[in-house]
Structures are given as structure tokens and as C-alpha cells.
Structure 1
Amino acid sequence: MILRPEILENPFVRLEPFEARHREPLRLACDADPELWPTFYYTSLGGDHFDAGWEAMRAQQAGGTRIPFAVVRDGEVVGLSTFIDIQPGNRAVEIGTTYYRPAARGGVANPATKRLLLDHAFACGAQRVAFRVDAINLRSQAAMAKLGAVREGVMRNDKITWTGRVRSSVIFAILAEEWPAVRTALDARLAAFGQADASALRMSV
């Protein structure tokens, strides 16, 4: 497995590997919901924590241990998502540190982003893509189930978050042989979003 840090794009979102130009637009997106970071995130990119978090991700990007993407929709940076725990020898990778500003949640941005990242990982030779979700984050767990990822179990007290909270993580994963069925269902969801966008456009004309 050789994960390539390249631009990924579909009709809904464009994923751009981090560059210096993404720093300030991403800061604005992360500052849009300051209460979310202490509630659900292992590390913080909100407020005064942004610069340290940005520098850490850029260092990991340079070292090849993380591939972070800015999520761009309609020309604006609306969030981020990253490849982490990259294991070329095991052909395994995790998708994590995903955040969207409030206006981009509950719509097409997340499934469109997951579609691009999953397809890219499996095309690059992955045999397993995992997701590690905070046990108290029921909304994200429901999103994983809707995506078609298999819930494998709970890692109890596996992390201490930046606020000092001891966190347990629910592990989900999609295997290469499961991806075709997951992709078909995901493409059907995205097609429905596309039809809705087209209908809205016709009504506005």
C-alpha cells in the first residue's frame, strides 16, 4: 500500500492536501464551533489551540505519518479529514480528525468526503480502513453504521483527551472485499443529493 497525497475531487467536494494557503481558512472553519472541540475531540484545533495543532499535523504530513486534507465545498474550506495510523506493511490505514463547520454538517460534505478517501485508500492497495469514534459520540457512531462500516468493538480507556478526559473508542472498519457494496450504497446516497441540488437549481431559475 502506497498512499499518495493528491487532490481528490467529486461533484460535491474537493480534498486538497494541506498547504500553507489552507491555514487561515481552516482556522476560521475550526473557530465556527468552539464548544465541539472539548466535547468530542482527542486534540483541539479551536481558538488558541489551532496553531499548535496545525503545526503538529504539518510535521506529521512532512514525516509521512499523516495525510491531512482541507475539505473544500463551493470554493470555501469547510473542514478537514485525514489519513492517520498509516501502516504500509499491513495495508491498513485509519480515517480520523474529521471536522466540518456547522453549516456543512448533516448534508453531502461528509459522505462525499468519505467516498473520496475510501476509494483512494483502496485504490492505493489498502485492505482495511478503520475509524475510531469516541464512545460518547453517538451521532458519529450512527454515521458510521449508515456508511456501512462494521462495528468491531470498544477499546476501553484507550485515550486521554486534551481536556484530561479518559476516553473509550468504538472501532469501525471497512475491508477491501466489503468496499464494492459500501461504495454502491454510498453512490446511491450521493446521487440523491445530486438530484436534490438539480431540483433546487431548476426552482431558482
Structure 2
Amino acid sequence: MSGLRTMLSDGDLRLELLADHHVEPLRAACARDTEIWDIYPISMLGEHFDKAMEEFHATTSWVRFAVLWRDQVIGMSSYINPDTRNHVVEIGGTYIEPSARGAAGVNTRMKRLMIEHAFAQGYTRIEFRVDARNLRSQAAVRKLGAMHEGTLRRNRITWTGFVRDTCVFGLLREDWERSRA
């Protein structure tokens, strides 16, 4: 897992390990979209933000990044539960503020950095788990070449009490190499 803990960059886009100096700019970025949090497992709005950050710091099996574009914190993303024995890691916990969604390919570039780095560290499978209601995120991971492998029915209770279905997508190293050829 330690090999995943590094800054990643592509021009004006950087993924920095989430640190204390990112917290307030991340709070502001999360506050720029009050509606999206209804389809996230947790909320990072208002009074929920500090609790979410406490939980983030208590979870040691995630590698969390602040996403910076043009030197401004615009969101976050994570490597989730890296399994070095089976060479599998999930990419998720991603939020990008509205002004950066679709702009300059920020989400695609960020995911490509994370995918390339995970494969370079010896992972051979990357997973994405997406709320079935989040059609935008499903389309984004399909664009990366990930395959919808199934839907876990009623497997997670979100912060609103909604019991969600989770779409599971997988991206194998050889699929990625083929898509990049």
C-alpha cells in the first residue's frame, strides 16, 4: 500500500496526499454542490463535514488524495482497501466540485493518473463501486474501459437512510493496455 502513497500530477492537475492544509479548501469545495450528497454514502456538507473527516483519519486502509486543479482544491479521491496479496484496489470516494466537472478532462485525467499508478505498483485489477442512481459516475468509469460486472442489491445504507444498490465495475490491466493501444 505504501507505493500508492505519492503525489500524482498531469500539468495543471495534482493529486496530493490529503493533509491538514487541504481540509478547509476541501470543505469549501464540498459546499459548492448541495444536491450531490444525497446520492453519496456520506455527506460532507455543513455539520457532516467534520465527522466525515474524523472517519477518514480513523480509516487506515484508504489512501486519500486532495485533488488540485490550477492550484485550487476542487475535490478528493481515494485508493480503497488496497489488497496487495490479490493485486486488487478500488478507486472511489471521489468528489469533484461542479465548476471542474467536465472541465479540461479533470475527472478522466485524475482517474488515468490513479489507474496508471496502481498498475505500475503491481495491481492487476481496479474496481469502482457506484450508486446505481449515479448515472454520471457510471458513464465516467465506462469511458475508462471498466466493465459493469454486476449490481449488489440493497447492500449499503447511506447517510440519508436510503438503502442503495451498488454497481460494481472492474478494469483489468490487460483491458487498460488494450484501450490505450
* Fold agreement, TM-score > 0.5: yes
1:119 is aligned to 116
| Alpha carbons 1:115, 1:183 under 8 Å: kept | no
Q: Give the alignment partner of residue 69 of structure 1, picking from 49, 65, 76.
A: 65
Q: Does 1:59 align with 2:58?
A: yes
1:130 is aligned to 127
2:83 is aligned to 87
Q: Deviations over 1:37-56 (max 9, x none)?
A: 01x10111121111111121
Moved more, 142-151 or 127-136: 142-151
Distance 1:94 1:78 in 2: 21
| Alpha carbons 1:71, 1:81 under 8 Å: kept | yes
Spell out structure 1 runs of 4+ moving beyond 2 A: 1-4, 181-184
Secondary structure of the residue that 2:5 maps to in structure 1?
coil
2:145 is aligned to 148
Distance 1:163 1:32 in 2: 19
Distance 2:20 2:129 in 1: 28
Secondary structure of the residue that 1:162 maps to in structure 2?
coil
Distance 1:119 1:85 in 2: 17
1:14 is aligned to 14
| Alpha carbons 1:158, 1:169 under 8 Å: kept | yes
Distance 1:183 1:118 in 2: 12
| Alpha carbons 1:13, 1:113 under 8 Å: kept | yes
| Alpha carbons 1:34, 1:47 under 8 Å: kept | no
2:30 is aligned to 30
2:165 is aligned to 168
Highest CA radius of gyration, 1 or 2?
1
1:41 is aligned to 40
Q: Give the alignment partner of residue 104 of structure 1, picking from 100, 103, 126.
A: 100
Deviation at 1:85, TM superposition (A): 2.2
Q: TM-score, normalised by structure 1?
A: 0.84
One-letter amino acid of the structure 1 residue matched with residue 70 of structure 2: D
Distance 1:75 1:128 in 2: 31
Distance 2:76 2:92 in 1: 9
Deviation at 1:2, TM superposition (A): 5.3
The count of residues paired between Structure 1 and Structure 2 equals: 180
> Structure 1: which 5+ runs fail to align?
185-205
Q: TM-score, normalised by structure 2?
A: 0.95
| Alpha carbons 1:12, 1:109 under 8 Å: kept | no
Distance 1:92 1:173 in 2: 10
Distance 2:135 2:42 in 1: 19
1:196 is aligned to none
One-letter amino acid of the structure 2 residue matched with residue 45 of structure 1: M
Q: Does 1:5 align with 2:5?
A: yes
Secondary structure of the residue that 1:54 maps to in structure 2?
helix
CA RMSD of aligned residues (A): 1.3
Q: Deviations over 1:18-48 (max 9, x none)?
A: 111000000000010111101x101111211
Q: Give the alignment partner of residue 177 of structure 1, picking from 153, 159, 174.
A: 174
Higher strand share: 2
Secondary structure of the residue that 1:178 maps to in structure 2?
helix
Distance 1:154 1:73, change over 3 A: same
